[in-house]
A and B are shown apart, each in its own frame.
Chain A
C-alpha cells in the first residue's frame, strides 16, 4: 500500500499579509511558512492508515527550497520519504499548471491513494486536488472527515450541513480532506521522529525531470491569472459609550441608525 500526500507550504495564518509592489502578489519577506493545515490533516490521515494498513507514505510538494522544512515536518510526524519539485519554471502556475506538475510526478510513482487538503489557506482555490485526480483518471472523494480502507476500496465520511454522507470509491483514488484541527488532531512530532526525519530520503526534481516543458506550466501557461489584490479595509477602533444607561441606549440606537445604517 502506497500513499502519497500532496502538501503545500503557506504563510502562517497569523502573518500580516502585505501586497507586493506589483499589486498581484504578496510580499514574502517577514513571512513564517507553515504546512497548509488541511494538508496536515491529510498527513495525519495517511499516517493513521500507515499504522493500520502498513502503508508507505510519500510527501509530494512543489516550490522553492524553503518548502523542504515543511516536508521534513511531515517526515518527522512519521512519513517515509519526500519529493519536492523545485523549479523556477513552475512559478506563477495556476491551479491547472500545479496539478499538471503533481500529476506528472505521480505518474512515475506507485500509489494506491493520494491525500491532500481540500484547499490551501493562502489562495483558497479548492482546485488542485480535484484536477490531479482528473489528470490521473482516478476517482476523487472530497472533504473527508474520516477515512478507512478495506477490500480494495476506500470509504470516507463527509459532512453536509451538519448531516453526514458516507462515500465509497475504488482504488487508486484521491481524497481531499476537510474538517478542522479538533477533528484530526494532527500528531506532534517526537524528538526521535525529528532526528530520523533528517535522514529520510528527500528527492528534488525539476520540470525537465518530469518531461514537462516550461510552456505547459508556469506563468506563461496559466489560463487563470491574478490581476489585482486588495486587503480588507482596516478596522476602525471600537467606541465605548459613556453616561447613564438610558442615554447610552439612545445614543446606541442613533448610531446604529445614522452611522452604521443597520436599523
Chain B
C-alpha cells in the first residue's frame, strides 16, 4: 500500500532516482547551452515576467490558431495535475497526507473540481490531437522522418492520456475507500471521479485496496517516467519554452546585432560552428515543439524553396545535442586525444547541417518569428551564418557580387553614378540640406527612390504631398548614400558598417533631428539599427507622416477614385515596426476607393519576395516565385489597384502582374501616388 512501510521507502528511492536523473539531464542541457557565446538578455525584468504571464500562462500566441486551444487545455491540465501530483507524492511518503488538512475543504474542493474538469478537457484535446496527426495530417506536421516524429508524439500523447485516466481512476477508488473510513474526507466536487466510482460498486474493501495500490503506483510511475523522458523528446519544450519566452527579444523583430569588426583577436566572423551562436540562440532550439507554424507561414517553404524554418531548428537541435555532448566530454583534453564518436565534430554547420541554399532562401520577412508561440528567433541564425559565408568565405550567390561592388563604388545596388543620385529631383520644388539646413525634416529618399525609374515617381509624389501639406523638408541630393540595409541582411556587415558610418556622418553634419523615408527597409534600418552607429533621429515612414497630415487637415482628399484596392503590408513596415493602421487611414481617406483586406494581411502578410537581399538574387529554386504567389493572393480579390508602401514591393508586384499579362488591368501604386492623385493642388 502506498505510504505504508516499506512501500514508502521504495517510492522515495524511485522518486529520488528519477528526479536525480532528470536534474542531471537538465544540467547537461544547460551546460551544452552555455557552450554558446555570451549575450545579455537580463534587461527589463518586469516586462519579461509580464511576457511569461501573457505568453506562457495566457498562451496568447498559442491560441491564435484553433489547434492552439487544445494546447491551452493540455497546458493548464498539466499545471493543475502537477499540483495534484504533489499530493499524490505526499501520500506515497505518508498515507495520511491530504491537501484538505492544510488547505481546508473549500480550497481542496475547488482543486479537485478543476482537476476533474481539466482531466476531461485534456482527454478531449488529446483525442483531437491524435485525430489531427493521424487522420487530418496537416502539412505542417509532416516531417522528413515521419515515423520517428509520429512515434515521439504518440509516446507523449499516450503517456499523458494514461496519466489522466489513471488519475481519475485512482481518485474514484479513493472516494470509495473514504466512504468507509472515519475521519477521512473526499470532496464531492470531483464529480467525474465520483461518477466513475460506479464501476467499482460491489467490489470488496480488500480488492479496492488492491485496485488503489495498482492505480496509484502506475499513475505515479508514469509521471516519473514522463519526467525522465521529457528532455529526450521534443517535449523538451516544456522546459525550454518558459525561459525562452522570458528571455525574448524586444523591439523590432529582425534587428541585427552590431558585429565588432575591429577586434584584432577575432579569428572568425559570423557563425560557422554551433557553439558560435549565443546561449539564447541555443535555448531557442530547446524551446521548439515542432508545431510548424513558422514553416506554414514561410514564403520560401510555401513556394517550394529548400528552406523550412521548422526543419532548420530541428537540424540545429540534433546537431547541438550530439556535438555539445562530445565538446563537453573533451573539455580540458588536448586535441590529439579528441574522440569524435558520431563524426558530429567534423560536420560543417554551414553546408551540412544547414545548406547554403537554405540560408540564401530566407527573405527575412519575419513571419516565422511572428508566428512562433515560444519566440524562437530564426532570422538571426540565418543572417549569422550568411555573415560567416560572406565575410570569411566570400561565398554567396554569384549575382550578388556585382551588387556589392556597386554599393562599394557608387553606394547604390544598381551601380549608377553616385553623383547623379539627386538628379530625380531636378526641376522639382525641393531643396537640398546644403542649400537650406534649417528645415524640420530630412527626406531620406533611398536608392530606389533616387535611381529606379518606377520609384522616382513615388519620390516626386512625396515632394508634392509634403509641399502641399506645408512640411518643412529637404533632401541630401548627391550627398545621400545608401543606408546599407540590404548589404547587412545579405551578411556583409563590413560593407554595411562602412556605409552606415558615412551616412551617419553626413546626416549628423547637418544637425538633422527628424527623417522621413518612403522605403520600409531604410525606415527600419535608420530607425532601429542606426542608433548602434550614432544615428539618433526620429524616423518616420511616409505613411505615418501622410496620415498625420490628413488627420490634421493639412492635406485634404478632394477627388474621388472609383476603384477597388487591396493593400499589401510590407514586412519591414508591419511585422518589423507594427505600422498597420496608418496606411489604412490613407486608403480610407480617399473618397470612392473600395478597400478589401487580403487573406494574409497585417501581421500575417506574405512577403513579396524581395527582402533579405532576395531582391538582388535570382529566384531559380522552388516550384514558383514568391512574388507570383503573392500576386495571385492579391488577384483573388479582383482588385483594380494593388496598394503598397515600399518600392521593392512595387517592383515585385509589377513583375508578378507582367508575368500574367495583367499589368494593363491591375495597377500597382504606392499609397503616396494614390494620395497625390486625389489631393486638391490649389492652395487653401
Residues of A within 8 A of B (CB): 12, 14-16, 30, 32, 34, 181, 185, 187-195
The answer to whether A190 and B391 touch across the interface, beta carbons within 8 angstroms, is yes
Query: Which of chain A's residues have a CB closer than 8 A to the CB of B416?
Result: 14
**A188-B401, A191-B269, A191-B494 known; A15 vs B392 contact (CB < 8 Å):** no
**Between-chain CB contacts (< 8 Å), 7 pairs:** A12-B409, A12-B410, A14-B417, A32-B410, A185-B398, A185-B401, A188-B396
Q: How does the 8 Å CB contact mask read for B368-403 relative to A, with 1 for contact and 0 for none? A: 000000000000000000000001111010100110
Q: Which of B264, B392, B419 contacts A30 (CB 8 A)?
A: B419
| B306 contacts A by Cβ under 8 Å | no
With the chains together, A14 CA to B409 CA distance in Å? 9
Q: Does B84 contact A (CB under 8 A)?
A: no
Chain B residues whose CB sits within 8 angstroms of the CB of A187 once the complex forms: 394
User: In this complex, which of A34, A190, A191, A192 has the most chain B Cβ atoms within 10 angstroms of its Cβ?
Assistant: A191
Min CB distance A161 to B, Å, is 27
Let me know if B392 and A188 touch, CB within 8 A.
no
Which range contains the number of B residues in contact with the other chain? 20 to 34
* 6 A-B pairs with the lowest CB-CB distances in the bound complex, closest first: A191-B391, A14-B417, A188-B394, A190-B394, A12-B409, A30-B419
**Complex CA–CA separation, A126 to B601 (angstroms):** 59
Whether B392 pairs with A191 at a CB distance below 8 angstroms is yes
- In the bound complex, CA of A181 to CA of B261 (Å): 29
Residues of B within 8 A of A195 (CB): 264
Distance A185 CA – B402 CA, assembled complex (angstroms): 10
Q: Across the interface, name the chain B residue whose C-beta is closest to A29.
A: B419
- CB pair B419 A15 closer than 8 Å: yes
B187 at the interface (CB under 8 A from A): no
CA distance A31 to B105 in the complex (A): 87
B119 part of interface (Cβ distance < 8 Å): no
Q: Distance in Å from the Cβ of B310 to the closest Cβ of chain A?
A: 32
Of chain A, the residue at the smallest CB distance from B387 is A191
The answer to whether A14 and B410 touch (CB under 8 A), given A30-B419, A185-B398, A188-B404, is yes
**A31 nearest CB neighbor, chain B only:** B419
Least Cβ–Cβ distance between A182 and chain B, in angstroms: 9
* Interchain CA distance A15-B415 in the complex, whole Å: 10
Judge whether B420 is part of the interface by a CB distance below 8 angstroms.
Answer: yes
Q: Which residues of A contact B186 (CB under 8 A)?
A: none
Determine if B418 is an interface residue (Cβ-Cβ < 8 Å).
yes
Chief secondary structure at chain B's binding surface: helix
- Contact A14 B415, beta carbon cutoff 8 Å: yes
Near A by CB (< 8 A), chain B positions 186-238 give none
| Chain B min CB distance to A41 (Å) | 14
The answer to whether residues A16 and B404 also contact, given A185-B398, A191-B391 and a CB cut-off of 8 A, is: no
* A14-B409, A14-B410 known; A32+B394 contact, CB < 8 A: no
In Å, the complex CA distance between A246 and B250 comes to 64
Q: Which residues of A contact B419 (CB under 8 A)?
A: 15-16, 30
Is the CB–CB distance between A34 and B394 below 8 Å? no
Cα of A12 to Cα of B412 in the assembled complex, Å? 13
Chain B residues near A15 (CB, 8 Å)?
417, 419
**Residues in chain A near residue B269, CB distance under 8 A:** 191-192
Closest to B493 in A: A191
Taking the nearest CB of chain B, how far is it from the CB of A22, in angstroms?
Answer: 21
5 further interface pairs, Cβ-Cβ under 8 Å (given A16-B417, A16-B419): A32-B410, A185-B398, A188-B404, A191-B269, A193-B394
Kindly list chain A residues whose C-beta atoms are within 8 Å of the C-beta of B494.
191, 194
Which chain A residues lie closer than 8 Å to B420 at the CB level?
16
In the complex, which residues of chain A have a beta carbon less than 8 angstroms from the beta carbon of B401?
A: 185, 188
In the complex, A192 Cα to B417 Cα: how many Å?
Answer: 29
Q: Measured between alpha carbons, how far is A190 from B401 in the docked complex, in Å? A: 12
Q: When the two chains form their complex, are residues B394 and A189 in contact, meaning their CB atoms are under 8 A apart?
A: yes
Which B residue's beta carbon lies closest to that of A195? Answer: B264
Write out the residue numbers on chain A whose beta carbons fall within 8 Å of the beta carbon of B417.
12, 14-16
| B392 close to A34 (CB less than 8 A) | no
Contact A191 B398 (CB under 8 A): no
- Please give me the residue from chain B that is nearest to A193 by CB atom: B394
Q: Whole-angstrom distance between the alpha carbons of A128 and B10 in the complex?
A: 94
| B393: min CB distance to chain A, Å | 7
Give, as a whole number of angstroms, the nearest-CB distance from A221 to chain B: 33
Max chain B CB contacts within 10 Å: which of A30, A189, A193, A195?
A195
Task: Provide the bound-state CA to CA distance between A98 and B402, in Å.
Answer: 31
Known: A16-B419, A190-B391, A194-B494. Is A32-B409 also a contact (CB below 8 A)? yes
Nearest CB of chain B from residue A121's CB, rounded to whole Å = 13
Between A34, A188, A193, A194, the greatest number of chain B beta carbons within 10 A of the residue's beta carbon is seen for A188
Query: How far, in whole Å, are A32 and B481 apart by their CA atoms in the complex?
Result: 14
Q: Which residue of A lies closest to B419 (CB)?
A: A30
The complex places the Cα of A195 from the Cα of B260 at a distance, in Å, of 13
CA distance A32 to B261 in the complex (A): 25
Q: How far apart sit A30 and B415, CA to CA, in the bound complex (Å)? A: 15
